[in-house]
Structure 1
Amino acid sequence: MSLATRCPACGTAFRVVQDQLRVSGGWVRCGMCQQVFNGLEALIAEPPESAPPQAPPRPPVAQPPAAVAAPPAIAPAPAPQPRTEPAPEPMRSVIPTGEAWEADAGWSMFGPGVGVGATGTAAGDSLSAPSLPPSDFDPVLRGVTLPPGHSGISTFGEVTAATAQRQPVTRPPKDLRVDPPPSGRRRRRKPGFVRQAEREAQWRTPAMRAVLGGTAALLGGVLLLQVAHHERDRLAAHWPASVPVLQAWCELARCRLEPIRAIDQLAIDSSTLQRTAAPDVLRFEAELRNQAAHPVRAPDLELSFTDNQGRLLARRVLPAASLDAPAAGIAADAHWSVRAELRVRDLPVTGFSAELFYP
């Protein structure tokens, strides 16, 4: 039984076979756009077959114009005689009569001892064979080769000894092991495009979409939590409202909040180096200013001492912890005063330079 389906992608309609739909589970591939779709869901009414074009009507035969009245001396032409078709010959029966069967087969259809007389002949002649339409093909007679022992045809009542004997039954050995036939699943393996379409359809089910959506949301939340943990100091500096939440998280994760590092937002407004009453002790004072709009972590200082020719004599690092730096960092638009006493012994220090850095 032919059915018709329509491709939802390109709109092409084509015929499909019901057995094909049953084997493939309804999945078919469009021959135009190669789209795989469920043919059972796109079944349409099969359009009626168009009637064969009719032969154009024969043009009417032009009739000769009416003859002009002839002079009375000329006789009129004889009227044309109607055309007669020859009668069809009666078809002969292709079924042979009983005598023909007996002549060909060599035996009597009435059994042995029964002769066919005038009555049988009359009866055979009185039976009218059904007429068959003429055939364009000539009958081909083929000889049939009978197996040995059956060269002649016997009646139904005669049973020979050779026919009554049967061949002995050959049984397989008991230790012969026959593997079972393959299961129906292996035998009815679905085509590759059908399996691919089923896998794609499985990923588009509402349950699978819900699972994928929940997994994506969970992974997104974990990623946001990881970013917040890594950038907790920057979040606390730029978004002060998040400080309580970040502090609660740090209690669970065993971390701490610290001011962010922004060395480019710090500047040294002033710095001095003076000698004290002790000949080998120098006093260093500096004023640092935070130019950012949020707290900044206090940096370490590096002092380089030089002589009157600019040669480097010594270098000293002052950690922020030794300078009593504020734990919350330098506030926004605030200053930090640095003071420290340094022992240089007998070095002829005449100049210095100070640099800020984070360790």
Structure 2
Amino acid sequence: MPLITSCPECNTQFVVKKEQLKAYDGQVRCGTCQHVFNAKEYLVKQSRSKKVTPTKVEAVLSDISLNPDTQTLPTEHIEMTAPDALQAQFNQDAPTEPATQEDTTAETQAATGTAHTPSFLNDLAIDEPVAKPLRRVPFSWPLFGLSLFLLLVLLVQGIYFKRTEIAAYYPQTKPWLTQACQYAKCTIALPNNIDLLTIDDSDMQEHLTYAQVLVFSSTLINHADFPQAYPNIELTLTNVDDEPVLRRTLKPADYIHQAASTDSGIAAKEEVRIKLQLNTSDIAVAGYRVALHYP
């Protein structure tokens, strides 16, 4: 007498054999909804008085082994026939589930014999451009000579525009620069870094002999490690409200009486004492301001 079991999920009935139940302790898979259940627990009781006409069912019962060491038995295909009327009624009563996109894809791949390629294999399959090896350019003597010439021109331009600073920081190069300037029609002037010059110890007094004459005295200090050109001294006289009433710009020739000293500039770390007499006429002077600058 055949055994009939019913799927607890979709109520589909299947004909099973005792050998199948013994193989894996009754564990089977429904061929309709793929649910795994114990066929022994859902056996359908059959009446002896009424002959049960089996329904044409086509399902694959996949046995599941609880022992990982046991090999999977081959899947058995069971097919039974029934009258057309019963088959039509069974098809109406049996629940149907809409096929998902994954099932449709799986069926299409199974029909075409192709398998889904994992995403990491797709990434490896992308055609990536292979870097071509760099082609070695043959050496060109004309191009090398042109590059060397342009580099030399750039160096000469830098020396020309920075000749004053070069001569100040590297005094041993000054004779060569002076000789080169004879051909280039240029001169090497003294540096004029106003930040390295200060005027200190300033004082303004009335002349002891002459009226309306003021005596200005101060000290000019060069803090640089090289000689610098003498700056212009701007002297501003103010009234009692600290408003300018007289301003004079004193050039190096006005406060340095030796022309040779003016041309050679103020030496490195040198202090030069300055003393001037100013005629104020009838202007009332109460104070003064002094500043240094280059023309």
Q: Tell me, in whole angstroms, the C-alpha distance in 1 between the residues paired with 2:197 and 2:278.
A: 23
SS in 2 for 1:326: helix
Q: Tell me, in whole angstroms, the C-alpha distance in 2 between the residues paired with 1:235 and 1:260.
A: 10
Opposite residue 336 of structure 1, the aligned amino acid is V
Matched, 1:326 2:262: yes
Residue of 29, 33, 40 corresponding to 2:130: 33
Q: How does 1:269-288 map to 2 (within 5 A)?
A: 269-276=200-207, 277-288=209-220
Q: How does 1:226-305 map to 2 (within 5 A)?
A: 226-276=157-207, 277-305=209-237
Q: Tell me, in whole angstroms, the C-alpha distance in 1 between the residues paired with 2:177 and 2:279.
A: 43
Residue by residue, what CA displacement relative to the aligned partner does 1:185-208 show, whole Å, maximum 9, x if unpaired?
Answer: xxxxxxxxxxxxxxx87xx333xx
Opposite residue 275 of structure 1, the aligned amino acid is E
Structure 2 partner of 1:317: 249
Opposite residue 333 of structure 1, the aligned amino acid is K
SS in 1 for 2:264: coil
TM value normalised by structure 1:
0.42
Opposite residue 283 of structure 2, the aligned amino acid is L
Q: Tell me, in whole angstroms, the C-alpha distance in 2 between the residues paired with 1:287 and 1:295.
A: 16
Opposite residue 347 of structure 1, the aligned amino acid is I
TM value normalised by structure 2:
0.51
The structure in which a higher percent of residues are helix is 2
The 1:210/1:350 distance shift into structure 2, 3 A limit, reads: same
Opposite residue 233 of structure 2, the aligned amino acid is L
SS in 1 for 2:146: helix
Q: CA deviation at 1:260?
A: 0.8
Opposite residue 273 of structure 2, the aligned amino acid is S
Q: Tell me, in whole angstroms, the C-alpha distance in 2 between the residues paired with 1:251 and 1:323.
A: 31
SS in 1 for 2:186: coil
Opposite residue 215 of structure 1, the aligned amino acid is L
Q: CA deviation at 1:256?
A: 1.2
Q: CA deviation at 1:238?
A: 0.2
Q: How does 1:220-231 map to 2 (within 5 A)?
A: 220-231=151-162
Opposite residue 179 of structure 2, the aligned amino acid is A
Residue by residue, what CA displacement relative to the aligned partner does 1:306-325 show, whole Å, maximum 9, x if unpaired?
Answer: 12332221211111232226
Q: Tell me, in whole angstroms, the C-alpha distance in 1 between the residues paired with 2:164 and 2:154.
A: 17
Query: Is the Cα contact below 8 Å between 1:301 and 1:354 reproduced in 2?
Result: yes
**What stretches of structure 2 of length at least 5 have no aligned partner?**
1-127
Q: CA deviation at 1:352?
A: 0.7
SS in 2 for 1:270: strand
Q: CA deviation at 1:214?
A: 1.1
The 1:222/1:311 distance shift into structure 2, 3 A limit, reads: same
Query: Is the Cα contact below 8 Å between 1:258 and 1:328 reproduced in 2?
Result: no
SS in 2 for 1:259: coil
**What stretches of structure 1 of length at least 5 have no aligned partner?**
1-30, 38-199
Query: Is the Cα contact below 8 Å between 1:293 and 1:333 reproduced in 2?
Result: yes
Residue of 138, 158, 164 corresponding to 1:205: 138
Structure 2 partner of 1:307: 239
Structure 1 partner of 2:285: 349
RMSD: 2.2
Q: CA deviation at 1:289?
A: 0.9
Total equivalences in the alignment: 163
Residue by residue, what CA displacement relative to the aligned partner does 1:212-234 show, whole Å, maximum 9, x if unpaired?
Answer: 11111111111111111111110
Structure 2 partner of 1:65: none
Q: Percent identity?
A: 30
